[in-house]
């Protein structure tokens, strides 16, 4: 039997209740939900005006400015969380063929999806995403 071992050695988090594992965990313990009025794009054509946006994130803390400008904000989140996990793990890439970071997400970028939708301004409706 060929068994594989998986060991989680580092974590990273970019969330509506905090950026960084410590801030995220403290937010969870405090019962914060991160839901507030949408500020990242115009919600005039939507009935829903609330969302759980990431508000305390500065891409340049994790990604060089030129690269960050070329990325969707959602991609910046993934890159930053991966960098946090690698830093926390003190991963120095000893066995490149046997180790690596893994990233996951719940949703894609709402702003990106909104930019791809054709919403007539005369109709107020929620997007079908």
| Ordered per-residue pLDDT tens for the chain, 129 residues | 678 777 778 899 999 999 999 999 999 999 999 999 999 889 999 999 999 999 889 999 999 999 999 988 888 998 999 889 888 888 776 666 666 666 666 665 656 566 655 555 445 455 554
Domain locations along the chain: 14-115
What whole-number distance in Å separates Cα of residue 78 and Cα of residue 13? Answer: 9
Q: Can you give the pTM of this predicted structure?
A: 0.70
Copy the structure tokens of residue 38: 């949408």
Tell me the CATH class for 14-115: alpha beta
């Amino acid at each position: 039997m060929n068994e594989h071992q998986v060991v989680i050695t580092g974590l990273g988090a970019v969330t509506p209740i905090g950026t960084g594992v410590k801030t995220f965990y403290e937010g969870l313990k405090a019962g914060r939900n991160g839901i507030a009025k949408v500020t990242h794009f115009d919600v005039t054509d939507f009935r829903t005006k609330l969302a759980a946006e990431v508000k305390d994130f500065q891409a340049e803390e994790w990604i060089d400015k030129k690269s960050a400008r070329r990325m969707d904000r959602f991609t910046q989140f993934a890159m930053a969380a991966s960098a946090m996990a690698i830093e926390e793990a003190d991963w120095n890439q000893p066995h490149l063929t046997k180790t690596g970071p893994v990233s996951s997400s719940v949703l894609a970028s709402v702003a990106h999806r909104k930019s791809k939708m054709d919403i007539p301004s005369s109709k107020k409706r929620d997007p079908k995403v």
